[in-house]
Amino acid sequence: MNRRNFLNHSNAAVAAVALSAGAGAVANAATPSPSTRPTKETLAMNSTHLYDRLTRENAVLLLVDHQIGLYTGVRDIDTLELKHHVVGLAKAALALKVPVIVTTTTESMWGPMIPELAEALPGIQRIERTTVNAWDEPRVVAAVKATGRKKLIVTGVSTDVCLAFPAISAIADGYSSYAVIDASGGFSKTQVEMGVLRMQQAGVIPVGYSNVAVEILADNAAPDAEAVYAALNIPFGGLVYGLKQYFSHR
């Protein structure tokens, strides 16, 4: 073997060793040892987000565009079920003394608010607006700010626009947003799924109409508990109070 061939073979061997060492280092870096692999406990300890529960004192409910014209296009949930949920949530909020703010797009565009909701909220002023995003209407933002609460519970039709837009915008303004998915409706399953995904990516918390209310209630022995369950009108509500009455007379 001449000098040139020897050097070529030597350089190739050195390169192969270097590549092998580098691959090993990458593999070791990509695969943490059992002692350094994160666990549920360490993830929880390292989390920068601590959940602050909904209460009567920190929550406000915003109802967006529950209008007859928009309800005719809802396809992801039965409209009777949707009405049941949003009306139940509104009544529960009143029972819990949680402020309720109502806004709709101009009636000339999407029609009046659904009568069931109007009947459930006597005396509450409705903010009529032209903006697509309710959070772009200064009167809506001012009404929320006036409550002094930072936990914004939002429902809207449609889910991907009238609910998603203000819920996401409120996050940017320092609020915690909760999207009540089953008290909102969309024009297709795909649009709703994309809307919920977008909200989650922005930090909005998806909730249901009954679980968000009972989180605020917190205690089934509270004086307003019976009114809350009656408002929500969920099947197990009757069982809860049947048991309560039974044990209270023992």
List the catalytic residues: 162
Output the 3-class SS for the chain.
Answer: CCHHHHHHHHHHHHHHHHHHHHHHHHHHHHCCCCCCCCCHHHHHHHCCCCCCCCCCCCEEEEEECCEHHHHCCCCCCCHHHHHHHHHHHHHHHHHCCCCEEEEEECHHHHCCECHHHHHHCCCCCEEEECCCCHHHCHHHHHHHHHHCCCEEEEEEECHHHHHHHHHHHHHHCCCEEEEEHHHCECCCHHHHHHHHHHHHHHCCEEECHHHHHHHHHCCCCCCCHHHHHHHHCCHHHHHHHHHHHHHHCC
